[in-house]
Chain A
Amino acid sequence: MDIELMINSFPKLLSAAAITLKLLSVSLIVGLIIGLLFAILRLNKNTFVNKFSYGYSYVFRGTPLLVQIFIIYFGLGQIEYLRSTFLWVVLKEPYWCAIIAFALNTGAYTSEILRSAFQTIKPGILEAGKSLGISNKIIFYKIQIPIAIRQSLPAYGNEIILMMKGTSLASTVTLMDLTGVAKYIISTTFKPIEVFIVAGSIYLFMTFCIHNVIKFFEKKYSF
């Protein structure tokens, strides 16, 4: 067991973990907005809108994240027309391609979580709001959304951890996140076990923190 290697690689891996966290937080924020949007669309009475958002979540949950990121990075990069538009400023950077892929992916899962949370709100609560004369719009924003968020916390906490593991795929499109740097160190030192222990521990530590933060919010907002 090469302890020296483990100590030496720790700082490099730690700074790469910062990139992982950056990718994670931006993807989650954008993904949450997308998820909320599509969850609402899913509940819409219009069958076309309904089916469209079901289709979106079906496609993004039914295909591997790796395929999604490859299509956005390599596939879109191939289209000559796109290269001449202003979109290229964004698609040129692997960072943004990764964010787009991650956000769309987590958006799909999030929309399912939020949708099921909306659908399991006791109808009694909505009726109470209506009988008090509160307008539908305010019921939605002040009652449905907060309750849905509280109900989704356990499942969404899970989704955050899954997305954190998903960010490791950024290493397949040249981004040097924690997994990317770990792979580089493994392939130059040929000591996979030592590097796995250090990199894995960093991931586990982040999982541990996220898990506890979610638990804290669950307690704080439980009724």
Chain B
Amino acid sequence: MNILKKTIFSVLASLLIVGNVYASDKIKIGTEGAYPPWNSKDASGKLIGFEVELAYTLCRYMGRQCEIVEQDWDGMIPALIMRKFDAIMAGMSITDERKKAISFSQGYADEVASLAVMKGSDLEGMETPAGIGLSSPNGDAKKALKTITAALAGKTVCTQSGTIHQNFLDSGDVGKINLRTYKTQDEVNLDLVSGRCDVALAAAVAFSDYAEKSGKPVVLVGPTFSGGAFGNGVGVGIRQDDTELLKTFNAAIKKARKNGDISRIATKWFGFDASM
């Protein structure tokens, strides 16, 4: 038994040598790098965006060294749990479902979602209010949902997989649609432009950013959505047992908000103050 224990231990030890043993004061923050203007990459591959800049600001307030790590969206929460990094700042909305697996800091920014189509689509000019809240839908919101359900019936709707947008489309609030999910927002955009999708759902700023950068005639239609399946703002995702880190982040966010940092950085990247 002793020999067996020794062999297993040496195998694990050698895996550690090949892997990296984590034991420093640095905070590693995971982000997708593929969801502009929240987070993306510049031409040289460096991670940039609202959250990247906010992360460095928060780390300054926390008095800690930070490292931003890139991670695919669908592996984001498992990677956090697996300790690939210690915090998630990837435009991840705070939802009850996600809270079952991880903790969230207080929200630092709000994300409103919207449908988008190519210019000239027959879905343009939908008769709905400018924005609806789904946490406690009033009569206007319910009417808007009915209009949308009728408009989307049988259409192909595309969105990124594992997002609040997919949850909303799956929830039945917009009836029966032909739902397609993709690994990244970029793929959603490409299939919207190529005509494979009739309409797509994502953060409103994601579409306006794409329309601006690519020059393609992508336009927003329908109301902006918030609340309900869309969660309550975007926060920092942290492992459930990491209570110390959670406290530290919350304190930093409070400071950043008080000093107007969040508003400033948000305005720089979104064109308007999306902070909360």
Taking CB atoms, residues of chain A closer than 8 Å to B161 are 184, 187
Contact of B180 among A78, A88, A174, A187 (CB under 8 A): A174
Taking CB atoms, residues of chain B closer than 8 Å to A88 are 195
Let me know if A166 is at the binding interface, CB within 8 A.
no
Give B165 Cβ to nearest chain A Cβ, in Å: 14
Give B210 Cβ to nearest chain A Cβ, in Å: 16
Taking CB atoms, residues of chain A closer than 8 Å to B195 are 83, 88, 92
Q: A174-B181, A174-B182 are in contact. Are A83 and B78 (CB under 8 A)?
A: no
Count how many pairs of residues, one from A and one from B, have CB atoms less than 8 Å apart in the complex: 34
A187→B196 contact, CB < 8 A: no
Interface of B is mostly: mixed
A-B contact pairs, 28 of them (CB 8 A): A74-B190, A77-B190, A77-B191, A77-B194, A77-B196, A78-B194, A83-B194, A83-B195, A92-B195, A92-B196, A94-B180, A94-B196, A172-B183, A174-B180, A174-B181, A174-B182, A183-B74, A184-B161, A187-B74, A187-B77, A187-B78, A187-B161, A187-B162, A188-B162, A190-B77, A190-B78, A190-B81, A190-B101
Let me know if B97 is at the binding interface, CB within 8 A.
yes
- Closest partner residue, chain B, to A192 (CB atom): B78
* CB-CB nearest 9 A-B residue pairs: A174-B180, A187-B162, A77-B194, A190-B101, A187-B74, A92-B196, A174-B182, A174-B181, A83-B194
Range, interface on chain B: 10 to 19
Count of A residues near B, CB < 8 Å? 15
Taking CB atoms, residues of chain A closer than 8 Å to B191 are 77
Give B180 Cβ to nearest chain A Cβ, in Å: 4
- Closest partner residue, chain A, to B78 (CB atom): A190
Q: Which B172-205 residues have a C-beta within 8 angstroms of A?
A: 180-183, 190-191, 194-196
Taking CB atoms, residues of chain A closer than 8 Å to B74 are 183, 187
In whole angstroms, how far apart are the Cα atoms of A74 and B190 in the complex? 9
In whole angstroms, how far apart are the Cα atoms of A125 and B158 in the complex? 58
Taking CB atoms, residues of chain B closer than 8 Å to A78 are 194
- Closest partner residue, chain A, to B73 (CB atom): A187
In whole angstroms, how far apart are the Cα atoms of A92 and B181 in the complex? 15
Give A16 Cβ to nearest chain B Cβ, in Å: 13
Interface string of A162-177 (1 = CB under 8 A from B): 0000000000101010
In whole angstroms, how far apart are the Cα atoms of A172 and B72 in the complex? 14
- Closest partner residue, chain A, to B98 (CB atom): A188
Taking CB atoms, residues of chain A closer than 8 Å to B97 are 188
Taking CB atoms, residues of chain B closer than 8 Å to A94 are 180, 196
Taking CB atoms, residues of chain A closer than 8 Å to B78 are 187, 190
Give B233 Cβ to nearest chain A Cβ, in Å: 20
Give B188 Cβ to nearest chain A Cβ, in Å: 10
Instruction: Pick from B97, B101, B161, B182 the residue with the most CB of A within 10 Å.
Output: B161
- Closest partner residue, chain B, to A180 (CB atom): B181
Give B107 Cβ to nearest chain A Cβ, in Å: 21
Taking CB atoms, residues of chain B closer than 8 Å to A74 are 190
In whole angstroms, how far apart are the Cα atoms of A190 and B74 in the complex? 11
Give A74 Cβ to nearest chain B Cβ, in Å: 8
In whole angstroms, how far apart are the Cα atoms of A75 and B68 in the complex? 32
- Closest partner residue, chain B, to A183 (CB atom): B74
In whole angstroms, how far apart are the Cα atoms of A176 and B194 in the complex? 21
In whole angstroms, how far apart are the Cα atoms of A77 and B197 in the complex? 12
5 additional contacts, CB 8 Å, given A77-B190, A94-B180, A176-B181? A92-B195, A174-B180, A184-B162, A187-B161, A190-B77
Taking CB atoms, residues of chain A closer than 8 Å to B158 are 174
Interface string of B87-120 (1 = CB under 8 A from A): 0000000000100010000000000000000000
In whole angstroms, how far apart are the Cα atoms of A172 and B195 in the complex? 19
Give B36 Cβ to nearest chain A Cβ, in Å: 20
Taking CB atoms, residues of chain B closer than 8 Å to A172 are 183
